[in-house]
Amino acid sequence: MAVMDATDRAQAWINIMRTLRTEVDLSDSSVRDAILAAVADVDDWVDDNQASYVAALPEPFKSTSTPRQKAAVLALVLHERFNTGTE
């Protein structure tokens, strides 16, 4: 799966800004710009490390799941990891 194009990255940025609006002061343009840059960097990192992630998955999930399912598991595990209240 290729990296997101500029339009998709912008939409991701908007969605992330909506999610973070209660946790981050988004009135600061440098914060907004940093989040936009982070979206691009994370998207590139995911693309660069996709093979490593897939290699770490257990069978039969690795070979029978779709790219979307693999991505959903990653996203949900990250979400749970940082929202368990154990920080």
pLDDT tens digits along 13-28: 999 999 999 989 999 9
Residue 82 pLDDT grade (very low, low, confident, very high; cuts 50, 70, 90) = confident
pLDDT > 70? residue 86 = no
**End-to-end alpha carbon distance in the chain:** 32
Distance of alpha carbon 87 from alpha carbon 71, whole angstroms: 24
What is the mean predicted confidence (pLDDT) over 16-41? 94
Q: How many residues does the chain have?
A: 87
- Is the domain of 42 the same as that of 63? no
Domain count along the chain = 2
- Is the domain of 17 the same as that of 45? yes
User: Which are the contacts of 12, defined by CB distance < 8 A and separation ≥ 6?
Assistant: 4, 39, 43
pTM (two decimals):
0.82
- Is the domain of 12 the same as that of 49? yes
- Is the domain of 47 the same as that of 63? no
The residue segments making up the domain with residue 82 are 57-87
